Structure 1
Amino acid sequence: MDTKLRRWARRIAGANAEYDRDHVQQNALRAGSTPIADICDRQLVQCTGTVTDVAVHHVGDNARSLLVALDDGSRVLTLSWLGRRQIAGIEPGVMLTVSGRVAYKRGLPVMFNPRYEILPCNPQKK
């Protein structure tokens, strides 16, 4: 049953998601970052966004990498730190600025072992 309350909640949730996406894009542009959607293969870039997912990918017996999804509101960039299981402070909801070279694997942008900076929760305007 689709009540007025449920329809209202879905509309508000959709509006919040759109606001969040726009807010993340504005913060990324203010930081001088390249939108992920504009990145070309093998381009050296700086991107700013929100961590949406963190996972450890196992390859074989001992090889592993930490995979992090970074969303700037335009597209998601996969960050891969080879040989790592975790990095202190990197978890869903955290804002990051990363820099490095982007490669496309299966049509998706990936940045291996990027330099990173964890940004404060509420960046102050300067």
Structure 2
Amino acid sequence: MGSTDGGAFRRMLRKLTSDVETLDADALSEDSERSGAQRASDCALGQEVTMLGRLRSVEICPQEAEATLEAELFDGTEGVTLIWLGRRRIPGVEPGRTMRVQGRVAERDGRKVIYNPFYEICQTQ
């Protein structure tokens, strides 16, 4: 058996023994890498990034002055919180959607965030 066959066998064995969440994370990470997007785990604070991932959660967070719409984007490596200031709803921004976002990475409460990102809702395959 050649090295290529051994690699294919290891990948098949891993798919059979891994849980669905791990496989989903791997697939998201591969899609992100293929699209040329940066991995969330590799992004540094202050860096302008393009990321591709799936929304895990979306919620309205009431603030004193105005509400914000917050969503967690997961790309298979790490989650990043997307925050749209002054928004209560954005059509199409809902859990399970795949999105490409662009913006500058910041930090809030020890977590990576992107404020008011440019976004594109991607069609699932």
Normalised by the length of structure 2, the TM-score is 0.84
- Unaligned stretches of 5+ residues in structure 1: 1-11
Alpha-carbon distance in 2 for matches of 1:116, 1:95: 10
Cα deviation 1:16-73 (Å, max 9, x = unaligned):
111101000011111111000111111000000000000011111x511000000001
Aligned to 1:109: 112
For residue 83 of structure 1, the aligned residue among 82, 86, 102 is: 86
Q: How much has 1:106 moved relative to structure 2?
A: 2.2
Cα deviation 1:62-108 (Å, max 9, x = unaligned):
51100000000110000000000111011111000000101012221
4+ residue runs of structure 1 moved beyond 4 angstroms?
A: none
Aligned to 2:12: none
Give 3-state SS (helix, strand or coil) of 1:45's partner. Answer: strand
- Unaligned stretches of 5+ residues in structure 2: 1-15
Give 3-state SS (helix, strand or coil) of 1:63's partner. Answer: coil
Aligned to 1:40: 44
Alpha-carbon distance in 1 for matches of 2:85, 2:48: 19
Number of paired residues? 110
Superposition RMSD in Å: 1.5
Aligned to 2:74: 71
Q: Percent sequence identity over matched residues?
A: 34
Aligned to 1:50: 54
Counterpart mapping for 1:24-39 below 5 A = 24-39=28-43
Alpha-carbon distance in 1 for matches of 2:69, 2:108: 16
Normalised by the length of structure 1, the TM-score is 0.83
Give 3-state SS (helix, strand or coil) of 2:62's partner. Answer: strand
User: Which amino acid is 1:110 matched to?
Assistant: V
